[in-house]
Amino acid sequence: MHPDRVSTLEERTSDEGDSRPCPVAGGEVPPGVAGDRGGRLAAIEAEFRAAKERALAEAEHLRQLKAEFVNNMHHELRTPLYGILGMATVGMRANDVEKSRHACRRILEAGRRLAELVENVLDFAQFEAGHGLVRPVPTALRKPLEAVARRALASATAKGLGFEHRHEGPQPAYCVIDGHRLEGILDHLLDNAVKFTDEGRVTLVSGRDGDQLVFVVADTGIGMGIDHVRQLFRPFEQANGSASRRFGGMGLGLALTERVGRLMGGTIRVESTPGQGSRFEVRLPYVEAADADLE
């Protein structure tokens, strides 16, 4: 030790919680400092242990979600793929023209479903990597709305549900928007509404509120509790553990829908009551366009 350096003893708290004297350079320690420091160290250790436990719990939750997603994806991709193979075999063997047409229709339906699943996975990967794009162009708004309403009507009718599409308030004829992305958002919300509704009706309402376009998808389906609503836009999550087994899906659709809405400068709000149904409100910026602007 250097002869000119003064050493004193400071109380430090060990890992076991006792206080032990340790040499410290620089003079005497003020009264009470050692005890205060020991208390602070104990609080830091407790906070660290709690944070560690939370991180481990979140990691386990993500592990379970990943395993469930892989299982769901295996089932969701396999079902339409096997449908295509099976109906193609039926069509090849059928001598009756009507049976062959029926097989072709089923092949087309399964192929579209398979393409939709693959597109959702690829789109989600693009958005997660920060490469998701929207391409707003002057658009006749009725075209994407009529397209999604036509598909929703067919799905609802096939399930014995009512469907209504109506306009409320001023409806702009033209605007600058990514019509393809708008169709994707509304298609998914309407698909979910039909999927989770066993009786009653599904409604699409469109309109304009100042500088915003407003689209509402409502149903009379199973609804959700507040805890389920909070996790609704998290990837790989569904309203409950049995939802994927009962209704299908990989848990990506709403997460992707929410990300697309944000990228378009909009928001999505959810209101839902168990046993009574759900209401999704999409708000997107309204940018005026004239007929002459259309390509």
Domain ranges of the chain: 7-53, 62-128, 138-293
138-293 folds as Heat Shock Protein 90 (3.30.565)
pLDDT score for 43 = 83
Is CATH 3.40.50.620 what the domain over 62-128 is classified as, yes or no? no
pLDDT band at 238 (very low <50, low <70, confident <90, very high): low
**HSE-up of 191 (CA within 13 Å, CB side)?**
15
pLDDT score for 104 = 84
Please answer whether residues 11 and 21 qualify as being in contact, where contact means their C-beta atoms are separated by less than 8 angstroms: yes
Please answer whether residues 88 and 100 qualify as being in contact, where contact means their C-beta atoms are separated by less than 8 angstroms: no
Tokens of 277: 């149904």
pLDDT score for 8 = 38
Between the alpha carbon of residue 289 and those of residues 64, 114, 181, 265, the distances in Å are 47, 36, 18, 17
pLDDT of 247 higher than 50:
no
pLDDT band at 123 (very low <50, low <70, confident <90, very high): confident
Please answer whether residues 28 and 34 qualify as being in contact, where contact means their C-beta atoms are separated by less than 8 angstroms: no
pLDDT of 236 higher than 70:
no
Packed helices 179-195 and 253-263: angle between N→C axes, nearest 10 degrees: 150
State what percent of residues in the chain have pLDDT above 90: 36
Give the residue with greater pLDDT, 13 vs 250. Answer: 250
pLDDT score for 105 = 81
Please answer whether residues 261 and 268 qualify as being in contact, where contact means their C-beta atoms are separated by less than 8 angstroms: yes
| Side chain identity at residue 107, one-letter code | I
Give the C-alpha separation, 113 to 110, whole Å: 5
